Structure 1
Amino acid sequence: MSAPVLFVVPAFNRAADLPRTLGAIAAQDWPAGAASILLVDNGSTDGTRDAVASLAARLPLRIAYRRKAPEGPAAARNLGLAAAPTDGFVAFVDSDVELDRGWTRATVAAMQADPLLAMVGGRVLFAHRPDVLNAYGGAISRLGLAWDLEEGAPVATAEAPRDVAWANASALLCRPWPLVEAGGFDADFFYAYEEPDLALRLALAGHRCRVVPDATAFHHVGAAVGPSHPDIVFHAVKNRLRMGLKAFGARRLAWWVPAAILHALADASLHAPRGARWRGLAWNLRHLPKTLDARRKAQALRRLPDEEAFRHVAPGWFPPTRLAGLRRRPVEGLARGAAADDRAA
């Protein structure tokens, strides 16, 4: 008997994309009676509700709709996590992602074969260049900087399963109970670092994250890469610092805190948008008591020392390719341009 899977799709003004995203979920090589969709609408103004109603009337699986305030994908995914089947799995799928027909079968098979896995992802390809990887797992540096692994590499690079520090929630299957035990995604993370933050907390409890090559998803992004919106830069700075403060053990914090603060100060002094970077630092100072409370909860999950829990943290301090102020690292098939960053909406 196939395990039930709830597909959680956060969306904001993506009515035009939903037939493709939800249609691909409905076309999965998985029994329709064991699959359902929860569309979490982050306050759309483009007719998303009507688009979902139309799709629910003609697709062969159950589709539920929830509307909420525009608080970002982390809070939206938590709504889905709360509704996940206790005897099955929850899959997070972004509204601009199209799953390959075999994605569910591949991720569920990997999850069922290893009870220590809490998250399973796969190959995320650029839809307009399906021979190029957008991501095959994620990395975290010693400094706490996170990036998509294999971004821009040929698809053949993703040829074997492997454990990773984290995987992108644009297409990610999860075992619900470890995420619930860990407190789910941090709802204070409007955007950026919500996946590595959760993965580090899960790693403290001994859970693992894996990517498998048979699970393929296509990311429908524009071919032009513009600069990151200042609001996204703000969230990236604040979330990166909060992530480390919550997850890292006392010995690691002794060197990580001064290193991370020095990096953040230098970054805010040297790189635009400077105001957004300073605001990220200031946010952490103002919310330090709340972060320390979140740290106590995260550390209460600990079953492994840092050396074991974070064995997939990269040995270097920085990503091999810097973002240089752009929304996404330019790779083959993507050009620098003036494309707007829609993540801040």
Structure 2
Amino acid sequence: MDKIAVVILNWNGVKLLEQFLPSVIQFSAGATIYVADNASTDDSVNFVKENFPTVQIIKNTANHGFAKGYNDALKNVNAEIYALVNSDIEVTENWLQPILETFNTEKHTAIIQPKILDFKNKEYFEYAGGAGGFIDKFGFPYCRGRIFDTIEKDEGQYDDNCELSWASGACFFIRSEVYNELKGFDESFFAHQEEIDLCWRALNEGYVIKYNSGSTVYHVGGATLSQGNPKKTYLNFRNSLLMLVKNLPKKGLFFVIFFRMVLDGIAGIRFLTQGKFKHTLAILHAHFSFYCISLKYIRKRKYFQIKQYYTVKSIVYLYYIKKVIVFKEIFNTNQNIKN
């Protein structure tokens, strides 16, 4: 069994592989590198074979998205640690060593995220994960370094190691035994929020999720679906509701989901006022889909759910009403974050 496997999920991303795979190969000594191809119709597979013969290729039978794409691919990977890396990630020298040291010394730590900066503007954190993720009471995610659309400059303010609520799927390290115990990503999600759901399930099982600032990567972001894509809006809103049904503690379950749906409605009205009609329709579609499959997801609930899963009651209120736009303004001391 390998110690660590770097697995890059690809779909029609030959240009991204050409640009970013060399840094992964250069700085990942000791790791086995895989490209898991989601039935691409471009020249991705042949390109990797011809130009990077040391990289192993896994061919999935169809494009099943992020969740099932990784679940299928990882059945073919035998390693203690999975490093799931987007194809638009540039890694840096020594990016693996701090992560492996944490796994070696902290046996209850199951999932780790590095510092994720913006490839296009390398002094700033990147939207997808920043310096690690948290959620509020109603399931809205936010990051150290990014709250909604406000991105912070990296000035060393998050050069630490701390516990998280979730780690970004853009660069996601997980013990293989934990991944298998949790049965991987929820394939019904297809893409978006699946890593938050997996992390929440890990927390419910007593595992620890960490951020490690000693490892840095740069992420392009939006290479598959841009922030303004209605399909992304649909997946994010639907999957958030499904995640809440699965993982919320029993007490207050229906109130939280109802209030979240009210907030979704407000978001839909906001899109309307901005002329973004397709996004309003995407939210309506997300809610309709949720109604159709919510009973199935109630059956996925486990016996135990942690009660204190959130760090603030409403990040929406703090951001839009109180105008709190920087993470440190919420937590100006570290007393609310486990070090």
Superposition TM-score tier, normalisation by shorter sequence = 0.7 to 0.9
Q: Note the residue ranges of structure 1 that are not aligned, 5 or more in a row.
A: 323-328, 330-345
- Give 2:299's aligned residue: 293
- Per-residue deviation, residues 23-57 of structure 1 (Å, max 9, x unmatched): 222222532xxx22222222322211111212332
Q: Which amino acid aligns with 2:131?
A: Y
- Give 2:99's aligned residue: 107
- Per-residue deviation, residues 120-153 of structure 1 (Å, max 9, x unmatched): 1111111222221111111211111113330322
When the two chains are superposed, the root-mean-square deviation of aligned CA atoms in Å is 2.5
- Give 1:73's aligned residue: 66
Equivalences, count: 306
- Give 1:11's aligned residue: 10
Preserved contact between residue 161 and residue 211 of structure 1 (Cα < 8 Å): yes
- Give 2:182's aligned residue: 182
Deviation at 1:74, TM superposition (A): 1.5
Moved more, 275-284 or 285-294: 285-294
Specify whether residues 128 and 269 from structure 1 end up closer, same or farther in structure 2 by C-alpha distance, changes over 3 A only. Answer: closer
Preserved contact between residue 37 and residue 59 of structure 2 (Cα < 8 Å): yes
- Per-residue deviation, residues 278-317 of structure 1 (Å, max 9, x unmatched): 110011111123212222xxx14x3x6323xx2x533334
Aligned partners of 1:73 and 1:84: how far apart in 2? 16
- Per-residue deviation, residues 225-273 of structure 1 (Å, max 9, x unmatched): 9752111111111100000000011103142122122222333344242
Preserved contact between residue 138 and residue 257 of structure 2 (Cα < 8 Å): no
Q: TM-score, structure 2 length as denominator?
A: 0.83
Aligned partners of 1:170 and 1:226: how far apart in 2? 14
- Per-residue deviation, residues 69-102 of structure 1 (Å, max 9, x unmatched): 222111112123333435x110000000011121
- Give 1:94's aligned residue: 86
Aligned partners of 1:228 and 1:62: how far apart in 2? 34
- Per-residue deviation, residues 196-250 of structure 1 (Å, max 9, x unmatched): 1111111000111111111110113589x97521111111111000000000111
Moved more, 158-167 or 265-274: 265-274
Match of 2:132 among 130, 137, 143: 137
1:157 partner SS:
coil
Specify whether residues 37 and 49 from structure 1 end up closer, same or farther in structure 2 by C-alpha distance, changes over 3 A only. Answer: same
Deviation at 1:320, TM superposition (A): 5.7
Residues 1-345 of structure 1: matches in 2 within 5 Å? 4-28=3-27, 30-31=29-30, 35-57=31-53, 61-85=54-78, 88-134=80-126, 135-151=130-146, 152-155=151-154, 156-221=156-221, 228-271=228-271, 272=276, 273-295=279-301, 299-300=302-303, 302=304, 305-307=306-308, 310=309, 313-318=311-316
Deviation at 1:116, TM superposition (A): 1.1
Preserved contact between residue 234 and residue 280 of structure 1 (Cα < 8 Å): yes
Q: Note the residue ranges of structure 2 that are not aligned, 5 or more in a row.
A: 326-339
Aligned partners of 2:254 and 2:95: how far apart in 1? 42
Aligned partners of 1:319 and 1:20: how far apart in 2? 40
Preserved contact between residue 204 and residue 306 of structure 1 (Cα < 8 Å): no
1:4 partner SS:
strand
Preserved contact between residue 98 and residue 215 of structure 2 (Cα < 8 Å): yes
